[in-house]
Amino acid sequence: MWVGQALGPRVDAITADLIRVTEQMIPLNDIAADLTEMRAASIAENIAAVQYVLANNIDPATVAPPPGAAAYAQRLARRGVPLTILLRAYGLGQYRILDAAIGLVLAVPGPDQAARIAELLRFAGTYLDRLNSSMGRIYEAERDRWLSSRQAARQQWIARLLDSDDVDTVAAGKALDYRIDQRHRAVEVWATGTDAVRVLEQTRSLLSAAIPSELVTAAGDRALCIWFPAAEYTLDELTAEIAASGLPVRVALGTIGEGLQGFRRTARSAARAKALAVSAGESAPTVIDYDTIAPFALLSDDPGELADLVRRTLGPLATEGTKMAMLRNTLDVFLAEGASYSRTARILDVHRNTVQYRIQRITGRYGITLDANTFELRFALGICRWYRHVLTRPI
């Protein structure tokens, strides 16, 4: 195409003008401010490529991006600069070079002017579509690779913090952008429904809104472990937020710890709280705090002994079924409320006579004695709540 040859002497001027206009209209953010020279080189390479393709009648649908332009896109991806910044620059570049080419056509009067301009427009549309598609794929592939590599590095640092006897906490803090010499609280979050990735991300955002500056590590396809700087918030507040969100998740809070040892201890306690919640099944609360269930979370090493203790203490009351669960819950509340029928009725939202009937049935039919030390009873009831495997099947 003769227009491409005619553009040859104008390439330098077009390039300089486009670099100036791009810097004015699409400024790089602070993250990529040092890439100005690389962008200028990319612009020059792209304009030279367009002129070459036009001058040699090359099919624009077959053109690959210039190597320098591809490298620039990859660098932007690693810096976290949005892809839209790159695509806007290509749109601006197309406008400038197309304006110059159409100007050349208009400067040569003739009956085929409209046809030549139409041909230029078709070329520009095909070329830009090809370039945008190619650069988009290059950018996204590099972005995915970079994020994966970055996440892998974070996981390695976290693994060393949790397990290594010789870890540089200062270097780890810089790599993770998280202070190790502070008070931490670990939180285990796991999805219980579908679309786990979306649900976990929304839950992470919800938690981050209340407790900023978090450190996140994936614990699996359906779970996250998150460390937060220890913050002042209540279990009730967090439970209310999770419930209001409607998200199908469970949350287990670790105990607060300080420094490297606290970082490890809170992670272990959050994991134990999660294991206990999973053991309890659907009866477990949405949010569980290790500090409130620590005695039970520490009992997971010998399930056989737990089952024997429960059967010795509760007998037939430790049987599966809705009715037995209701009786155990009534007894647990009754003991917690100092054997007060009225307070128990208020908490369970039932009539006082209903509580009396249930307690009489527990003591009469199932032989539970309430006039002795009730610690063992409450302990056994707690085991039944958190360790479903200790319950016997109804005969």
Choose the CATH number for 2-147 among 1.10.1740, 1.10.490, 1.10.3470, 3.30.160: 1.10.490
Residue 301 is predicted with a pLDDT of: 59
Interatomic CA distance for residues 12 and 15, integer angstroms: 5
pTM listed for this prediction: 0.56
- Scan for tokens 């220890």, then name that residue: 230
The per-residue DSSP string of 102-138 comes to HHHHHTS--TTHHHHHHHHHHHHHHHHHHHHHHHHHH
Interatomic CA distance for residues 144 and 150, integer angstroms: 10
Three-class secondary structure of residue 3 per DSSP: helix
Residue 312 has a CB neighbour count (10 Å cut-off) of: 11
Residue 303 is predicted with a pLDDT of: 67
Residue 350 is predicted with a pLDDT of: 92
Interatomic CA distance for residues 309 and 380, integer angstroms: 7
Total count of residues recorded for the chain: 395
Interatomic CA distance for residues 229 and 329, integer angstroms: 36
Choose among 8, 21, 76: nearest CA to 47: 8
Interatomic CA distance for residues 340 and 332, integer angstroms: 12
Choose among 239, 259, 380, 248: nearest CA to 318: 380
Q: Which two tokens stand for residue 97?
A: 């070079």
- Scan for tokens 């690389």, then name that residue: 38
Contact, 238 vs 185, CB < 8 A?
no
Residue 31 is predicted with a pLDDT of: 58
Contact, 252 vs 274, CB < 8 A?
yes
What is the full per-residue pLDDT of the chain (395 aa) written as tens digits? 677 788 888 889 888 988 888 888 887 766 566 788 888 899 899 888 888 888 888 888 888 888 888 998 888 888 778 888 888 888 888 888 888 888 888 888 778 888 888 888 888 888 888 888 998 999 999 888 887 777 778 888 888 898 888 889 999 988 888 899 999 989 898 988 778 888 888 888 887 776 666 787 766 678 888 898 876 666 677 788 888 888 888 989 898 899 999 999 999 999 889 988 888 888 788 888 888 888 887 776 566 777 888 888 888 898 888 899 999 999 999 998 888 999 999 999 999 999 999 999 998 888 888 876 688 888 889 888 888 888 887 75
The per-residue DSSP string of 30-56 comes to GGGGGGHHHHHHHHHHHHHHHHHHHHT
Question: Half-sphere exposure of residue 177, counting CA atoms within 13 Å on the CB side?
Answer: 8
- Strands of 61-198 (E only): list them: 183-191
CA angle, corner 198, sides to 195 and 204, nearest 5? Answer: 135
Interatomic CA distance for residues 377 and 334, integer angstroms: 11
Q: Which two tokens stand for residue 283?
A: 């009866």
CATH number listed for the domain at residues 175-297 = 3.30.70.120
Task: Name residue 218's beta-bridge partners.
Answer: 224
